[in-house]
């Protein structure tokens, strides 16, 4: 009897697993992923996009944005000439997101990723031309971790370098990026540098040239800065880790590139911050490392492209394992004061966009339900009318027969 119950239990488990696998293939999009998550986790059934960190469930906006700033839906034509350009800022989770772009999107012609190769081939359907400009598709074609200034000047010429000017198509370039909490990002970069990373291959091209050693001095004298302490990392005044996100998202030509003598420091900082905010707002899409599921949702709604598997929120990272006191925390925030302000702005815009898109989605769903109910009521009314006409016809026919 006990052996029989074990067999029944095993059969039920196998049946459940088979159903999950079938659902994965039959319906791989986000909506079905939510159904799977709800089935496996009843506690999350209320809303799969509930706060992924300590952010209150009810978000209170701080900045005023227009409907045009909040609504992000681009008509991305993957079969045409449109191009998605990924601006990859160091230690923001860009590597993970970049892999999602080449391995996890449901496409008519998926990217071809071969074992042992760093780059994937992401061709448009029926064409030998890429639709994605990123580290994992085209490599560092505009330089290692190229910034906004480099990409906007480099990408158009790189993708059409083999074509005559008159034959080059009129493309839409859709820029995207990922941001991260500045303190966590800074600590993560320090740990990365401590292990030997240098990014010496970065070009930092601005106004047609790379900066001189006087404009951009090095923080170390050897081959790398491995083993540096956090104090040493913070003490270097030339450290590009300071306010990296603002620098990489702004138009550096507005401030004379890396020449600090062009304008006063306070004016330079304001121009850089304003430029970074404007460029970020005008980008087709940006996500936040701290909100993986919302990042996935907004990308899918923006580009009308669905990921196969849901994003995972990793709260345990190398940066999170670093314990710092309050004084060090304040020092890092001071060194990254521009990034702190940009991140507050970005987080507010990101959550407002998410809230706005969800409201639009609910309104559209409500409109469809109302239309369906209207159609159903019309059908019911038509059936009742046909039934009444049929009854009236039968009654008149019976009266005629009685008269005979």
The residues annotated as belonging to the active site are 145
3-state secondary structure the chain: CHHHHHHHHHHHHHHHHHHHHHHHHHCCCHHHHHHHHHHHCHHHCCCCCCCCCCCCCCCCCCCCCCHHHHCCCCCCCCCCCCEEEEECCCCCCHHHHHHHHHHCECCCCCCECCCCCCCCECECCCCCCECEECCCCCCCCCCCCCCHHHHHHHHHHHHCCCCCHHHCCCCCEEEEEEECCHHHHHHHHHHHHHCCCCCCCCCCCECCECCCCCCCCCCCCCCCCCCCCHHHHHHCCCCCCCCHHHHHHCCHHHHCCCCCCCCCHHHHHHHHHHHHHHHHHHCCEEEECCCHHHHHHHHHHHHCCCECCCCCCCCCCCCCCCCCCHHHHHHHHHHCHHHHHHHHHHHHHHHHHHHHHHHHHHHHHHHHHHHHHHHHHHHHHHHHHHHHHHHHHHHHHHHHHHHC
């Amino acid at each position: 009897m006990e052996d029989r119950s074990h067999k029944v239990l095993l059969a039920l488990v196998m049946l459940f697993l088979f159903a999950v696998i079938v659902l994965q293939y039959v319906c791989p999009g986000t909506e079905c992923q939510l159904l799977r998550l709800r089935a496996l986790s009843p506690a999350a059934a209320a809303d799969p996009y509930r706060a992924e960190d300590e952010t209150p469930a009810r978000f209170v906006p701080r900045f005023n944005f227009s409907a045009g700033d909040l609504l992000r839906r681009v008509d991305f034509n993957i079969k045409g000439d449109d191009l998605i350009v990924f601006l990859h800022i160091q230690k923001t989770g860009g590597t993970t997101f970049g892999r999602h772009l080449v391995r996890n999107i449901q496409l008519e012609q998926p990217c071809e990723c071969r074992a042992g190769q760093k780059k994937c081939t992401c061709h448009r359907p029926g064409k030998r031309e890429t639709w994605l400009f990123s580290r994992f598709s085209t490599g560092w074609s505009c330089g290692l971790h190229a910034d906004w200034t480099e990409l906007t000047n480099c990408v158009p010429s790189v993708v059409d370098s083999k074509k005559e000017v008159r034959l080059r198509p009129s493309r839409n370039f859709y820029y995207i990026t990922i941001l991260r909490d500045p303190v966590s990002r800074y600590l993560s970069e320090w740990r990365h540098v401590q292990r030997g990373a240098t990014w010496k291959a970065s070009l930092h091209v601005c106004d047609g040239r790379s900066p001189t050693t006087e404009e951009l001095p090095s923080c170390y004298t050897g081959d790398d800065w491995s083993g540096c302490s956090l104090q040493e990392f913070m003490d270097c005044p030339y450290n590009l880790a300071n306010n990296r996100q603002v620098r990489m998202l702004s138009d550096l030509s507005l401030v004379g590139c890396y020449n600090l003598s062009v304008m006063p420091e306070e004016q330079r900082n304001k121009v850089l911050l304003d430029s970074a905010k404007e460029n970020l707002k005008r980008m087709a899409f940006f996500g936040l490392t701290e909100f993986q599921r919302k990042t996935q949702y907004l990308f899918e709604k923006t580009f009308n492209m669905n990921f196969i598997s849901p994003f995972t929120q990793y709260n345990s990272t190398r940066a999170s394992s670093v314990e710092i006191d309050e004084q060090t925390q304040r020092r890092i925030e001071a060194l990254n004061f521009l990034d702190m302000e940009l991140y507050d702005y970005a987080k507010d815009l990101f959550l407002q966009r998410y809230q706005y898109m969800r409201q639009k989605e609910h309104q559209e769903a409500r409109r469809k339900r109302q239309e369906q109910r209207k159609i159903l009521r019309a059908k019911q009314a038509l059936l009742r009318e046909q039934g009444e006409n049929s009854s009236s016809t039968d009654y008149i026919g019976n009266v005629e027969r009685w008269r005979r």
